[in-house]
Each structure stands twice: as structure tokens, then as C-alpha cells.
Amino acid sequence: MEWMLEHSTLMLLIAGGAGFFMALGVGANDVANAMGTSVGARALTVKQAVLIAIVFEFAGAYLAGGEVTATIRKGIIDAEVFNQTPHYLIYGMLSALLAAGIWLVVASWAGWPVSTTHSIVGAIVGFAAVGVGMDSVHWGQVGSIVASWVTSPLLAGFLSFALIKSVQKLVLNHDDPFQRAKKVVPFYMFLVGFVITKVTLVKGLKHVGLEMSFGSSSLWAVAGGLVVAGLGVLFLNRIHPDPEADKDFRFSSVERVFAVLMIFTACAMAFAHGSNDVANAVGPLAAISSVLANGGVIGKESIIPGWILLVGAMGIVFGLAVLGARVMATVGTKITELTPSRGFAAELGAATTVVLASGTGLPISTTHTLVGAVLGVGMARGIGSLNLRVISTIFTSWIVTLPAGALLSILFFYFFKGLFGA
Amino acid sequence: MSFGSSIAGLFGRSPIRPLQKHYDTVHDCALGLGDFFSAVRDGDWERAREARQRIAQLENQADELKKEFRLNLPKSLFLPVPRSDLLELVSVQDKVANKAKDIAGLMLGRQMTLPPSLADSMTDYLQGAIDTSAQAKKAINELDELVETGFSGREIRLVEELIEELDRLERANDDQQVQIRAQLFKLESGLPPVDVMFLYKIIDWIGDLADRAQKVGGHLQLLLAR
């Protein structure tokens, strides 16, 4: 450990590199899924989606990502166990980053829809259980994380189902759906603004040192919702019906109204993804940095330094710009089934679920939540066809990802132990 | 490299547009029958042969589309309507094209001519059947709107109205059939018996064409039924 403290800058560089590598994988893999729906529904171009993702991923990571980072850092493992051997924690977290990063690259290359969240959680559990001891893992906490992987798609599906049903009832089932859409859509925009502001205020601003009561944060959230809705109305005033397109498909003009709404839900989706998934990459990094900063003492509360979030955010942005954009172009050509009115329901349902989970500190999988949301829209008979075989592929990838991440991280853990000394 | 495969891969091909395209082709067959009839009335068998050729080509196209549709509807798809209903609907649609091809084939093969006093009412009668098919096309074209609204509310009522109109057209076509039979019955003693037999057959088949177009509406109703 002494050697490490002497060379703490070097260790941080190595850890930062591994964190960046992992974030790159997250950017390439997850973001394409999170943003691909808007591109697929023709509400955004790939370039616009990338720009929105850059801004809002960063905002989500910085403003609402703290809670999940803390869970990854000390919720999964019992830090007390490492008091005698703090360097094991460093080896382990480093291993977890490398293992998850490598697994992501391998899986992406093979085309398996794996979850970044599952791989990092599997990796942390793996090195701790095998490398250190079974009792070093908070099994109860791990259990609740795993349970949230099942409940979050269900919740997202339920929300999306309710949203699409409300669109059918409030807008499509009327004489003049276009005018109705113009009236109703700002309300959905309000919802987007409200949810995001609320979670940011209640959970996100703690590490900035801003504490708020539930009541005052609700007031602020209402204000945030109103601001977003007002902005939306400005956008909506520029949309006019297109009678020519309506001849072929009666809801063409209505969909153009919803396309505006989708720009907003895309921002929400990027924010949600940033708040949850950036933490996967930077959580282990934060753990390493805190051990080094406290001279090898574990358990001291320390605020996550800004540079760590920056590394995570940069990695995501880099991965998105280099690989994710290409992915999105292919994803975008495939998803035409999601018209803006359905796509918005899926995105808002998923984003709300993810942001709520981020607030409680549960690391969930954004992609799987989105899949649940899309299924919810399908249940409302709103989608031409869904390929259920993909569901089983996704399910298999869940099962495989946990042991794969664990195995890789155990290997790395022993490698570092041999390299730097036990 | 296929990142993001889980979301993009979740969407199967929507069966709605292919189904509509299929009926568009089928209806073109029925329209071709109109051209064929006018050539027969002019006694221009060269033009009639070309018209029948076109009908046959369209019917082949419809068959291809039908096959493709069936192949693209694996059991693992989650659809807004029962898979079996969709498969039946495409079969029912296809039968309209088959009938059109049969009518043209028989009339060309026997070089059938229409008795002059019957020609006008026969043309009207055929037009009635073609109109029935056009109405069925209209109803089928509402399918994408139905999916959009989740098969609920006003859209359902609108399609119900279209189907009612389709039934009305078919009944009107039935009435025309009764009248034409009566007309032919008065003429038949002065015509070659075999020709008369086949005329009755053609009259029957044109009625079948309208009938089959109406059945498309009936199957569409099955999709609407909860």
C-alpha cells in the first residue's frame, strides 16, 4: 500500500484510463439505444441526437449521478472488510473496470445486447466474493439491485402503457386530433420538466451542498415543468398541418406535433442515462481515488472530485461521437415502427423510471428499461409487431453477463495481486 | 459490429403495410377486368388478350406478396391482432384476384361475346363489383390508422361505417345480378345454348367477385372484434 500511496498519481492515471475505457463502452453501447429511438422515429437527426446526448448526459451525470456512484462505490461491498488491506480494494475496483470494459467490447463485437450496469455489478461482486471473501459482499443490497433489474422494465412498461393510452384517449380519439395534440402535448412536456427537476433537486444536489425540503423542491419542480412546457409551446407554434400527407395517413400532422415532444423526451432520456450509467464507469474510479486521497483509510466520506465525473462524461461523449453515432445511424434505419407518438411514450416511461431509480441509488439497466417501455406500448396494441425472440436473447445476455464480468474481474484481481504484491 | 441490437432488433416487420400493398395489387386486378370488358365489347380480341395478360401478371404479383407476407410472420412476433386472423385475411384478399383472373381467362378462352342488348347492363354490373372491391380497399387502408389509435374509439366506428357501405354495395350488386339473369332468361331461346350456359357462369362469377370483396370487410371486422 505504501508503494501505491507514493505513486498515487500513477495509480490514479491507470485507474482513470480504465474508467475512461469503460465509459467509452457505455457511450458506444447504451447511448445508441437510449437515443436511437428518437432517431428511429425521425424526430432527430443523428447529429442532433449526438449533440443532445453530449449536453444532457453530462448534466445528468453531474447533477443526479451521485447517488448511484455511491452505491457502486460502497453499497455492493462491505468496505470495512478492506480496512487491513486497502490495496485489495484498489486492485478489485481496477479489475472491475477492466473486466466490464473488456466484456462490453467483446459483447458489442459479437452483437449481444449486454448491459453495462450488469457487467460492472457482476465484476464487483466477483472480485469481492472470490478474491476477498463471501462475507465482504452486501448480499442484501446485491439482491435488491438484481430485483430492480426485473421491476424497472415492468414499471417502465406500465408507465408507457398508461401514456400511450392517454394519447389515444385525449388526442387521437377526437374530431380534430391536430388541434387536440397542440393542446395536450405541452402537458406532457410539463411532466418531462417536472420529473427531471424534482429528482435533480431531491437527490442530485446533495454533493453540491444544497439541501432542500420536499415542499420547496416540489415548488421548484413545478416551476421547472412550466419552463419546459413554455419552451415547448414556442416550438409548437411553428408546426402547421400538412393536408397532403394527411390524405395518405390521417395522423401525419399529429405525429409532427409529437415529434417536437420527442426532442424533449430525448433530452430526458439522455439525462436519465447520464444520471444512472455514467456512475457505473466512475463509481469504481471514485472508490480508488478516495482510498488514495485518505492515505489508505477506507470508509471516510469524501465528495466525488469533479475530475472523476469529467473523465466519465468525456469517455461517454468520446465513445458516443466515435462509435455511437455510427451505431445510431444503423439503429435509426431499423426503428421506423416507433412513430413519435409511440416513441415519446416509450422514452418518457423509460426515462422516468431510470431517473427515479437513480434517485434511490439503484444501478439499473437503461436499455432493458427501454425494452420494457417499448413492450408496454406494444401491449396497448400500438405497434405493428414486436420480435419476442429478442426478449429471450436479452434475457440470456443478462444471465451470461454476471458470471462473465465476475470471472474476468477475478482474473484481473489475481493479476494485480501478483504485479503489485499482496 | 451490431451495437444497440436489443432495441432495434425488438421491432419486427409491421404486417400492416404489406397487407395493404397486397390488397392494392389485388384491386388492380379487378380494375384490369374493366379494361378487359371494354375490349371484349369492342370485339378487339388482341387488346383483350393483352388486358388478360396484365391481370394474370398482377395476380402473380399478388401471390408473391401473399407468400412473402406469410414468411415474414413468424410465431415469435407479438402482434396487435391475432396472427391467425392476419393470415386468413391475406388469403381472403387473394381470392378476389383469383376470381378476376378466372373471369378474364374463361371469356378470352371461349371468345365470348355479349348479346348487344345485355352489354350495357353487364358493364354496369361489373362496375358494381369493381366498386365493391374499391370500398374494401378503402377499409383495408384504414389499418395503419387503427394500429395508431390502438384499435379504439372513433377509428373503429369509422371502419365499421366503411364496412357497412361495403355490405350495401354488395347487396346492390346482388340486385343487379337478379335483373341481368331475368334479362338473359328472356333472350336465351334465341342464343346458342352452350354460350348461354357460360354467360350464366360469368354472371355468377362477377357476383362472386363482389362477394369475395365483401368477405375482406368481414375479416377486417374480425380484427376489430375484441
Nearest Cα residue to A163 out of A41, A341, A370, A35: A341
Given a contact cutoff of 8 angstroms between Cβ atoms, the answer to whether B150 and A173 are in contact is no
* CA–CA distance, A331 with A49 (Å, rounded to integer): 12
Distance of CA B60 to the CA centre of its chain: 14
What local confidence, expressed as pLDDT, does residue A34 receive? 82
Nearest Cα residue to B123 out of B213, B37, B215, B190: B37
Position A208 pLDDT exceeds 60: no
B213 versus B77: which is more confidently predicted?
A: B213
Q: pLDDT (tens digit, 9 = 90+) per residue, B94-144? A: 999 999 999 999 999 999 989 999 999 999 999 999 999 999 999 999 998
Please give the single-letter amino acid code of residue A282.
V
Best-predicted range by mean pLDDT (A4-8, A69-73, A184-188, A393-397): A184-188
Task: Pick from A385, A386, A396, A398 the residue to mutate for testing the B interface (most B CBs within 10 Å).
Answer: A385
Report chain B's mean pLDDT, rounded to a whole number. 92
Distance from CA of B156 to the nearest CA of A (A): 10
What local confidence, expressed as pLDDT, does residue B74 receive? 87
What local confidence, expressed as pLDDT, does residue A316 receive? 84
Number of helices followed by number of strands (H, E) in chain A: 16, 1
What local confidence, expressed as pLDDT, does residue A298 receive? 72
Mean pLDDT across B58-70 = 96
The secondary element (H helix, E strand) that includes residue A386 is strand A386-387
DSSP 8-state code for residue B89: H
In chain B, the number of structural domains is 1
Q: pLDDT (tens digit, 9 = 90+) per residue, A148-184? A: 888 999 999 999 999 999 999 999 888 888 999 999 9
Report chain A's mean pLDDT, rounded to a whole number. 85
A326 versus A263: which is more confidently predicted?
A: A263
Position A276 pLDDT exceeds 90: no
* Owner of C-alpha cell 362469377: B205
* CA–CA distance, A217 with A87 (Å, rounded to integer): 41
Interfacial A residues in 309-348 facing B (CB < 8 Å): 323-324, 327-328, 330-331, 334-335, 337-339, 341
DSSP 8-state code for residue A337: S
* CA–CA distance, A42 with A331 (Å, rounded to integer): 12
Mean pLDDT across A6-24 = 86
Cell of A135: 462475507
In terms of CA atoms, which chain A residue is nearest residue B1?
A: A109
A259 in contact with chain B, both atoms CB, cutoff 8 A = no
Position A211 pLDDT exceeds 90: no
Which of the four pLDDT bands, split at 50, 70 and 90, describes residue A218?
confident
CA distances for A421 relative to A3, A91, A413, A414, A415, angstroms: 10, 10, 11, 10, 10
User: To the nearest whole percent, how much of chain A has pLDDT over 90?
Assistant: 28
Position A308 pLDDT exceeds 50: yes
* CA–CA distance, A285 with A94 (Å, rounded to integer): 8
What local confidence, expressed as pLDDT, does residue A204 receive? 58
What local confidence, expressed as pLDDT, does residue B1 receive? 38
Position B66 pLDDT exceeds 90: yes
Query: Dihedrals φ, ψ of B44, to 5°?
Result: -90, 90
What local confidence, expressed as pLDDT, does residue B2 receive? 46
- Classify the phi-psi angles of A299: left when phi > 0, otherwise alpha if psi is within -120 to 50, otherwise beta: left
What global pTM score does this model have?
0.88
Nearest CB among A168, A337, A384 relative to B149 is that of: A168
**Cβ-count burial of A36 within 10 angstroms (0-12 exposed, 13-18 middle, 19+ buried)?**
buried
Determine whether the interchain pair A371/B10 forms a contact, defined as Cβ–Cβ distance below 8 Å: yes
Please give the single-letter amino acid code of residue A199.
V
* CA–CA distance, A354 with A347 (Å, rounded to integer): 10
A127 in contact with chain B, both atoms CB, cutoff 8 A = no
Determine whether the interchain pair B148/A331 forms a contact, defined as Cβ–Cβ distance below 8 Å: no
Position A121 pLDDT exceeds 60: yes
Mean pLDDT across A198-205 = 70
Domain that holds residue B14: 3-225
Position A269 pLDDT exceeds 50: yes
Sign of CA dihedral A313, A319, A320, A324: negative
Q: pLDDT (tens digit, 9 = 90+) per residue, A32-66? A: 778 888 888 888 998 898 889 888 988 888 777 77
Number of alpha carbons in the 13 Å side-chain half-sphere of residue B104: 31
* Owner of C-alpha cell 498515487: A8
Collapse the DSSP code of B11 into the 3-class scheme (helix H, G, I; strand E, B; otherwise coil) and give the result: strand
Q: How far apart are the first and last CA of chain A?
A: 9
Q: pLDDT (tens digit, 9 = 90+) per residue, A74-98? A: 788 887 778 888 888 888 999 999 9
* CA–CA distance, B132 with B27 (Å, rounded to integer): 10
Determine whether the interchain pair B77/A33 forms a contact, defined as Cβ–Cβ distance below 8 Å: no
User: To the nearest whole percent, how much of chain B has pLDDT over 70?
Assistant: 97
The domains of chain A are located at 2-420
Mean pLDDT across B144-152 = 86
Which of the four pLDDT bands, split at 50, 70 and 90, describes residue A422?
low
Interfacial A residues in 180-239 facing B (CB < 8 Å): none
Sign of CA dihedral A44, A395, B85, B146: negative
* CA–CA distance, A196 with A95 (Å, rounded to integer): 34
* CA–CA distance, B226 with B223 (Å, rounded to integer): 8
* CA–CA distance, A358 with A72 (Å, rounded to integer): 12
Mean pLDDT across B189-198 = 93
What local confidence, expressed as pLDDT, does residue A310 receive? 79
Determine whether the interchain pair A29/B80 forms a contact, defined as Cβ–Cβ distance below 8 Å: no
Query: Dihedrals φ, ψ of A387, to 5°?
Result: -90, 105
Here the CATH number for the domain that contains residue B193 is 1.20.58.220
A324 versus A127: which is more confidently predicted?
A: A127
